[in-house]
């Protein structure tokens, strides 16, 4: 998979909240990406198996807003991130911080 700067930023935003997952709204705030750029990246990462997602529990009427979809890095996604870091380190020295 090609990791653009935008894709790396999305992955970093998700990695910052691993326990509960992160909503698209939160990722958008963290990355400053508009929904038209963000959601295709999320769909591509999910299709590749790097992310899993699930809908928030609850009735939208009770929540007072539409339900949110929460994204988490999968085990495969974590392995791929680790491989990306390892590939960067020999070529760029301390560049492994990109996904840390």
The parent domain of residue 65 ranges over 5-74
Number of structural domains the chain divides into: 1
Please answer whether residues 40 and 10 qualify as being in contact, where contact means their C-beta atoms are separated by less than 8 angstroms.
no
* Domain annotation covers residue 65: yes
97 falls within a domain = no
Reported confidence tier of residue 92, pLDDT bands at 50, 70, 90: low
* 82 belongs to a structural domain: no
% of the chain at pLDDT higher than 90: 62
Question: By the 8 A CB rule, do 96 and 89 touch?
Answer: yes
Residue 86, in any domain of the structure: no
pLDDT for 19: 76
Residue 66 sits in a domain of what CATH number? Answer: 1.10.10.10
Return d(Cα 68, Cα 54) in angstroms, integer. 9
**Mean predicted confidence (pLDDT) in 34-41:** 96
Output the pTM of the full model: 0.83
């Amino acid at each position: 998979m090609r990791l653009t700067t935008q894709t790396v930023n999305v992955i970093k935003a998700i990695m910052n909240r691993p326990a509960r997952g992160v909503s698209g709204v939160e990722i958008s705030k963290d990355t400053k990406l508009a929904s038209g750029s963000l959601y295709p990246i999320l769909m591509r990462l999910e299709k590749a198996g790097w992310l899993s997602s699930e809908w928030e529990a609850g009735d939208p009427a009770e929540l007072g807003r539409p339900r949110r979809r929460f994204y988490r890095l999968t085990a495969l996604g974590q392995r791929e991130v680790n491989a990306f870091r390892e590939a960067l380190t020999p070529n760029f020295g301390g560049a492994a911080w990109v996904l840390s």
